[in-house]
């Protein structure tokens, strides 16, 4: 599947439904293509993607703004974990 | 911008108490409700939401069974509601706006751009003649009419454009510079009498050092001493026959370089005692606001003591809102600085410095049309009361000047 998308030069994030995460240093994360929130508190934020789960671990985490497709997280990030 | 919009619409801070905040947030996302700055404290979560969206939350709150409280209110709608009883405030605000609006219907400042030959006041006077002045209603201004009037009145203005921005009327002007040049050239011609025949005269009393004649007949030779106005090169010369009788007389414009040795005498006296201005450091500022005939001064009862002297500095400026909203109000600021006069005497060094400066200035002035300074024996002498600068400066300079035309 991945090979096919590569050969056809299609946008991967759309075709695979993969999470698109952009980090700004240690302080800010910008996430696209998520489905829902699994866990939310000031130390952990877990998000569900199409076929993965990603967890942000840190301190004083908060959601600055979000919409159906994207979300901005601020705080002091320590780890990013995929399950 | 976004913040401004939020302020305008109004927004609230909502506290939510629940174990299952994630479900609540997922439902908010699903329903496309805009909330921001979601922060989780120990046993509650708070976020901000627009007041329009708060009714959409009701269903979610029912479904998720979370505790819910509006903690704080921000924005214009709440501000207006809280101040609804302060009628005077709103009336004042409204009147303020009305006044600003009415003011903006008039012209309060006229500016000219691109004028070199015609001064601002000249153009301003002309505009007054055709009834365009400060305080006129904007709608009464007919740009094309003004442009035409200006072009008709001033022939050398080839292009004029009227532009109104805010309460300022700007008139852009293009002057015909070629015409200006032509005028100047004509003037020059009159002054110089170019091509007309005549003599070359001495501009100063001098001893001739050298003479080179380009046209005309030299009347002096080196080492001659000439008076001011003496003919150096004559424009008339005769052609002789072989038997030394005059064949005919010709008239030309005399031209040549005549270098003379000129002596300038300098004799100046500087008095050593003088009157000094001493500022006491006392200062009064009077702020005046002038609207037409009315004026308000910040210090109405300014006590000016009779036997004291003051320097007065006056600043006058028109009050502008932003870049171009000129109001018919002028701010006049007058600063009174108190001083008294004291007799003083220049010290020897000071007076010498002063004398040197004066001498340098004089020599510089002499040097302006000089070839070379031959001799300079000016002395500076200082005694108890005066300082005297005296002596002579001898220079080489061109002394020929055209004059004495033949009619």
Domain boundaries, chain A: 18-82
Is the pLDDT confidence value at B238 over 50? yes
Largest interatomic CA distance in chain A: 43
Is the pLDDT confidence value at B180 over 70? no
Chain B residues within 8 A of A64 when measuring between CB atoms: 36-38
Q: Rounded to whole angstroms, what are the CA distances from B102 to B139, B154, B321, B327, B331?
A: 13, 34, 14, 11, 21
Calculate how close chain B gets to A38, using CA atoms only, in Å: 6
Q: What are the tens digits of pLDDT across the range B242-272?
A: 887 877 888 888 888 888 988 888 888 888 8
Arch. (CATH architecture) of A18-82:
Sandwich (2.60)
The answer for A 20-79 residues in CB contact with B (under 8 A) is: 36-42, 62-68
Is the pLDDT confidence value at B323 over 80? no
pLDDT band at B189 (very low <50, low <70, confident <90, very high): very low
Domains and CATH numbers, chain B: 2-81 (3.30.70.340), 109-178 (3.10.20.310), 196-272+346-407 (no CATH), 275-343 (no CATH)
Q: B109-113 and B168-175 as β-strands: parallel, antiparallel, unpaired?
A: parallel
> Is A8 touching B (CB cutoff 8 A)?
no
- Write down how long chain B is: 407
Show pLDDT as tens, one digit a residue, over chain A (83 residues). 778 878 887 777 777 778 889 999 999 999 988 888 888 888 899 998 888 899 999 998 888 888 888 889 999 999 999 98
Contact B40 A39 (CB under 8 A): no
pTM value? 0.42
In chain A, DSSP assigns E strands to 20-24, 28-32, 36-40, 44-48, 53-66, 70-82
Q: Dihedral of CA A66/A69/A75/A81: which sign?
A: positive
Phi then psi for residue B194, to 5 deg, are -60, 150
Q: What are the tens digits of pLDDT across the range B17-34?
A: 877 888 888 888 888 888
Tell me the mean pLDDT in the region B178-182: 58
- Taking any CB pair shorter than 8 Å as contact, residues of chain B touching chain A are 21-22, 25-26, 29-30, 32, 34-41, 45
Q: What are the tens digits of pLDDT across the range B76-135?
A: 888 888 888 888 888 999 999 999 898 888 888 888 888 888 888 888 888 888 888 888
What is the Cα–Cα distance from B301 to B309, expressed in whole angstroms? 18
Q: What are the tens digits of pLDDT across the range B352-379?
A: 888 888 888 888 888 887 888 888 888 8
Minimal Cβ distance to B22: which of A39, A42, A67: A39
Q: Please tell me which residue of chain A has the smallest CA distance to B30.
A: A68
Minimal Cβ distance to A40: which of B21, B32, B34: B21
> Whose CA is closest to B298, among B306, B311, B289?
B289
Long-range contacts, stretch B175-178, CB < 8 angstroms, 24+ apart: B175/B114, B175/B115, B175/B116, B175/B117, B175/B118, B177/B116
Question: What are B36's two structure tokens?
Answer: 């921001």
Tell me the mean pLDDT in the region B272-285: 84
Calculate how close chain B gets to A6, using CA atoms only, in Å: 32
Give the DSSP H or E segment for B178.
Answer: helix B177-192
> Whose CA is closest to B264, among B399, B381, B386, B382?
B399
> Whose CA is closest to B170, among B203, B198, B147, B152?
B147
Give the rounded percent of residues in chain B with a pLDDT score beyond 90: 2
pLDDT band at B193 (very low <50, low <70, confident <90, very high): low
**Cβ within 8 Å of residue A32, ≥6 positions away:** A13, A19, A20, A21, A69, A70
Q: Are B392 and B205 in contact (CB under 8 A)?
A: no
What is the Cα–Cα distance from A45 to B100, expressed in whole angstroms? 53
Question: What are B274's two structure tokens?
Answer: 């003088």
- pLDDT at site B190: 47
> Whose CA is closest to B217, among B238, B196, B202, B203?
B238
Q: Please tell me which residue of chain B has the smallest CA distance to A36.
A: B26
Q: Are B75 and B10 in contact (CB under 8 A)?
A: yes
Chain A residues within 8 A of B21 when measuring between CB atoms: 40-41
Is the complex ipTM higher than 0.85?
A: no
| Interface mutation vs chain A, best among B40, B41, B53, B64, most A CBs within 10 Å | B40
Is the pLDDT confidence value at B185 over 60? no
Calculate how close chain A gets to B25, using CA atoms only, in Å: 7
Least confident segment among B36-40, B127-131, B153-157, B194-198: B194-198
- pLDDT at site B178: 67
- pLDDT at site A54: 92
């Amino acid at each position: 599947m991945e090979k096919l998308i590569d050969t056809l030069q299609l946008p991967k994030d759309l075709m695979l439904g993969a999470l698109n995460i952009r980090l700004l240093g240690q302080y800010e994360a910008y996430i696209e293509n998520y489905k829902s929130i699994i866990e939310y508190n000031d130390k952990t934020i877990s998000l569900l993607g199409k076929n993965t789960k990603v967890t942000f671990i840190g301190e004083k985490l908060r959601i600055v703004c979000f919409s159906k497709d994207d979300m901005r997280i601020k705080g002091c990030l320590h780890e990013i974990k995929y399950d | 911008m976004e913040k401004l919009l939020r302020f305008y619409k109004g927004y609230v801070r909502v506290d939510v108490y629940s174990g299952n905040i994630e479900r609540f947030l997922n439902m908010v996302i699903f329903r496309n409700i805009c909330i921001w700055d979601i922060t989780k404290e120990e046993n509650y979560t708070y976020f901000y939401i627009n007041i329009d969206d708060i009714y959409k939350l009701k269903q979610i709150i029912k479904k998720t069974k979370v505790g819910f409280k509006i903690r704080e209110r921000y924005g214009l709608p709440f501000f207006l509601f809280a101040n609804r009883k302060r009628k005077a405030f709103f009336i004042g605000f409204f009147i303020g706006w009305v006044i600003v609006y009415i003011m903006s219907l008039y012209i309060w400042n006229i500016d000219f751009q691109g004028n070199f030959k015609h001064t601002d006041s000249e153009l301003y006077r002309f505009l007054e003649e055709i009834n365009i002045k400060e305080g006129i209603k904007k709608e009464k201004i007919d740009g094309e009419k003004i442009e035409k009037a200006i072009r008709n009145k001033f022939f050398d203005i080839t292009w004029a454009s009227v532009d109104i921005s805010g309460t300022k009327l700007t008139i852009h002007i293009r002057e015909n510079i070629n015409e200006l040049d032509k005028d100047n050239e004509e003037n020059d011609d009159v002054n110089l009498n170019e091509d007309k025949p005549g003599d070359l005269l001495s501009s100063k009393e001098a001893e001739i050092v050298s003479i080179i004649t380009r046209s005309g007949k030299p009347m002096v030779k080196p080492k001659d001493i000439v008076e001011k106005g003496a003919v150096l090169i004559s424009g008339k010369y005769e052609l002789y026959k072989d038997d030394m009788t005059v064949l005919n007389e010709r008239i030309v414009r005399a031209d040549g370089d005549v270098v003379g040795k000129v002596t300038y005498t300098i004799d100046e006296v500087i008095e050593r005692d003088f009157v000094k201005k001493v500022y006491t450091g006392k200062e009064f500022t009077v702020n005046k606001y002038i609207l037409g005939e009315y004026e308000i001064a910040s210090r109405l009862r300014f006590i000016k003591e009779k036997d004291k002297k003051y320097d007065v500095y006056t600043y006058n400026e028109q009050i502008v809102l932003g870049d171009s909203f000129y109001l018919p109000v002028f701010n006049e600021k007058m600063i009174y600085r108190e001083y008294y006069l004291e007799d003083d005497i220049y010290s020897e060094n000071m007076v010498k410095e002063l004398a040197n400066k004066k001498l340098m200035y004089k020599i510089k002035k002499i040097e302006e049309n000089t070839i070379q300074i031959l001799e300079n024996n000016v002395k500076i002498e200082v005694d108890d009361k005066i300082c005297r600068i005296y002596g002579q400066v001898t220079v080489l300079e061109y002394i020929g000047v055209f004059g004495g035309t033949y009619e």
